[in-house]
Amino acid sequence: MTDELTGLMTPNITGSAKATPTQCIRGCKVSKSGTHYYKETTDKMIDILERLKESKTRCRFHWGDATTGKDWEDIYDVSGTIGRSTGSCKVPLLIATKRSMGGRAILTQCVVKIVTSLGKRTIYQHPKYHTE
C-alpha cells in the first residue's frame, strides 16, 4: 500500500498476531506493569528492575557478558533511576537526573551488577562477576 501524501510504501498492519500478557508479538517479555524487556532477560532481573523503578532508587549499572559475567567497565551513562519510555512498546530507561526529560534504554539482558548510588549497596551481582 502506498501513502498518497509521501508516495512511500506503508506496511499493512491488519491481521497482526495478538500479544499474550507475558510476551509481546516481537518476542519480548512483558512485566505486569506493561514494561517490555529483551527475551534474554531473566525473570529475577525483571523483578529487580521493576522494584527499582517503583522505589525510584538511584543506582549504578555495570553491563557485561551475561554468560561469562565479565564487566565491560563502562563509565559513561551508567547511573540514574529507572524510568519507562512511551509508545506501544515501553522499555526501561536509565534517567540520569530528576531534571532529565528522557534517557537511554537499559540493556536488561547485559546487566552483570547493580549498586545503589547512596551507600554503595550491591542489589545484584552476576554469579561469575569479574572485571579482568
On the question of pLDDT at 12 being above 50, the answer is no
pTM of the model: 0.78
In a domain, 10, yes or no: no
Q: Judge whether 19 lies within some domain.
A: no
Does a structural domain hold residue 3? Answer: no
Point out which residues pair with 97 in neighbouring strands: none
CA distance 108 to 42: 9
- Domain assignment present for residue 13? The answer is no
Owning domain of residue 51: 29-125
pLDDT digits (tens, 9 = 90+) for 36-78: 999 999 999 999 999 999 999 999 999 999 999 999 999 999 9
Domains identified in the chain, total number:
1
> Residue 50 is which amino acid?
E
Question: Model confidence over 110-130: pLDDT tens digits?
Answer: 999 999 999 999 999 999 999
> What is the chain's mean pLDDT, rounded?
84
User: Is 81 inside a domain boundary?
Assistant: yes
11 belongs to a structural domain: no
| Structural contact between residues 56 and 81, judged by C-beta atoms closer than 8 angstroms | yes
User: Residue 18: which pLDDT band, with cuts at 50, 70 and 90?
Assistant: very low
In a domain, 2, yes or no: no
Q: Is residue 76 part of a domain?
A: yes
